[in-house]
Chains A and B, each alone.
Chain A
Amino acid sequence: MTSMDHTFQPSPASQEGDLNVRELDAMCVNESELQHPWWHNLKYSAWGLLFGIVFVKAEIISWFRIQEMFRFESFHMYGVIGTAVVVGMISIALIKRTGLKTVHGESIHIPDKTFNKGQIYGGLLFGLGWAITGACPGPLFAQMGAGFSVIIVTFLSAWFGTYAYGLLRDKLPH
């Protein structure tokens, strides 16, 4: 397997591998040498299920909680995100320290993210949208699941937004 550290190229002239395309503007790409039957993916659904319950029960999908957060009038969301970061950080440190492998015995690799201006412009744009909709992409799925059917419109628009980005990507500053 080649290095997964990816150098950002706005308009690559050369033929890139499939992984390189997937890695563009993405935090979460993975390359496993292992092939599994499709039902192996259910272990992600199982965790997603727990995640969805947490989203509802801790009111993370609530538009009100996002308002409180951006108005600095409640600690709740800062507590949630802060705890998640600390737990994630300790977990990764432990995995690196112990050289723990996946359940299938692969060594764990976390790709590095290179800086580009998209993190500034895109981040700002997402922040503006987050405060309006009260949802980042995860909560969008949860709001629909929780029965707020009109969020289907928000979701479709977000999907289209991602498509529009792909369409315009070469023309945008990075």
Chain B
Amino acid sequence: MLETLKQPWPWYVAGALIGLTVPYLLLVGNKTFGISSSLRHLCAACFPGDIKFFQYDWKKEAWNLFFVAGIALGAFIGAQYLSDPEPIVLAASTQEYLATKGITDTTQLLPSEIFSWDQLFTVRGFIFFVVGGFMVGFGTRYAGGCTSGHAIMGLSSLQWPSLVATMMFMVGGIIMTWFILPYLLTL
């Protein structure tokens, strides 16, 4: 049993469990699924200033912060006790392409060539951590949701603005991956 759990889980198991988050949250507390809002609640809780956008009773949305804390803890358990010692199995074409950019370490979920502290104070590190993170935080709030709020919750509840947002996520990702990252990776 434990050996099976330690293998990488197939997409349909993961997809089904993630999808079940939608009814779970609705049924236990009338909450709609979304994760990026946690960043906003953290702003409202820590430094609302005189910004109207952050002036609300964040405690009413505290459930969202409990949820993301659970995610971090669950990831800790998954990585610590259920981890698979084998390297990640990538599509051969992706692996070959990344190798041409000097990314060959597939032993962890994130490539150590980029995602390590000694990379932080390089130009590439600055873009991957600081600029990338900023775009995720700014972009999700500007869009009114992220993959969970728009792509999963929004599409599940048939909201067309969420379809627009999801398509734009894909457009942005494709532009970055195909036209900008090839250059950024070699910085």
List A residues at the B interface (Cβ < 8 Å): 18-19, 21-22, 24-32, 38, 40-71, 73-77, 79-89, 91-92, 94-95, 100, 102-104, 106, 108-116, 118-138, 140-151, 153-167, 169, 172
- Report the minimal beta-carbon distance from B159 to chain A, rounded to whole angstroms: 5
Q: Is B102 interfacial (CB 8 A cutoff)?
A: no
Kindly provide the distance from the CB of A121 to the nearest chain B CB, expressed in whole angstroms.
6
* A47 engages B67 (CB within 8 Å): yes
Given contacts A157-B132, A159-B137, A161-B39, 7 further A-B contacts (CB under 8 A): A32-B29, A60-B14, A113-B159, A132-B132, A140-B136, A150-B119, A166-B43
Given known A-B contacts A80-B18, A147-B79, A172-B142, A95 and B26 have beta carbons under 8 A apart: yes
Task: Report A173 CB to chain B, min CB distance, Å.
Answer: 10
A-B contact count (CB 8 A): 550
A126 and chain B: residue at smallest CB distance: B139
A57 B9 Cβ-Cβ under 8 A: yes
Which of B116, B141, B157, B175: most chain A Cβ within 10 A? B141
Distance of A68 Cα from B90 Cα, bound (Å):
8
The answer to whether A87 and B91 touch across the interface, beta carbons within 8 angstroms, is no
Instruction: List the B side residues contacting A158 at CB < 8 Å.
Output: 39, 133-134, 136-137
Are A119 and B156 within 8 A (Cβ)? no
- Asked, given contacts A27-B150, A141-B75, whether A44 binds B128 with beta carbons under 8 Å apart, the answer is no
User: What are 17 A-B pairs at a CB distance below 8 A?
Assistant: A27-B32, A27-B34, A27-B162, A47-B67, A53-B75, A55-B78, A64-B94, A66-B173, A106-B30, A119-B143, A123-B166, A129-B136, A136-B140, A137-B38, A143-B109, A158-B137, A164-B134
Query: Which residues 170-184 of B have a CB within 8 angstroms of A?
Result: 170-178, 180-181, 184
The answer for the CA separation of A31 and B114 in the assembled complex, in Å, is 42
B109 close to A61 (CB less than 8 A): yes
Instruction: Please give, as numbers and ranges, the residues of chain A lying within 8 Å of B43 by CB-CB distance.
Output: 159, 162-163, 166
Complex CA gap A94/B172 in Å reads: 34
In whole Å, how far is A135's beta carbon from the nearest beta carbon of chain B?
7
Residue of chain B at shortest CB distance from A173: B142
B73 in contact with A52 (CB, 8 Å): yes
Q: How far is the CB of A40 from chain B (nearest CB, A)?
A: 8
Q: Which of A58, A76, A123, A157 contacts B143 (CB 8 A)?
A: A123
> How many angstroms from the CA of A157 to the CA of B65 in the assembled complex?
18
| B2, CB-defined interface residue at 8 Å | no
Chain A residues, CB < 8 A from B148: 136-138
Closest chain A residue, CB of each to CB of B26: A108
Cα-based distance from A163 to B29 in the complex (angstroms): 27
Known: A59-B8, A63-B111, A113-B144. A138 touches B72 (CB 8 A): no
| Bound Cα distance from A161 to B119, whole angstroms | 21
Contacts of B170 in A (CB 8 A): 70, 127
Q: Among the interface residues B12, B30, B54, B120, which one has the most CB atoms of the partner chain A within 10 A?
A: B30
Whole-angstrom distance from the CB of A132 to the nearest CB of chain B? 4
Give the CA-CA distance A136 to B35 in the complex, in Å.
9
Q: A40 to chain B: which residues have CB within 8 Å?
A: 29
Tell yes or no: B93 within 8 A of A by CB: yes
Tell which of A111, A116, A154 touches B32, judged by Cβ atoms closer than 8 Å.
A111
Query: Do residues A165 and B137 form an inter-chain contact, with CB atoms below 8 A?
Result: yes
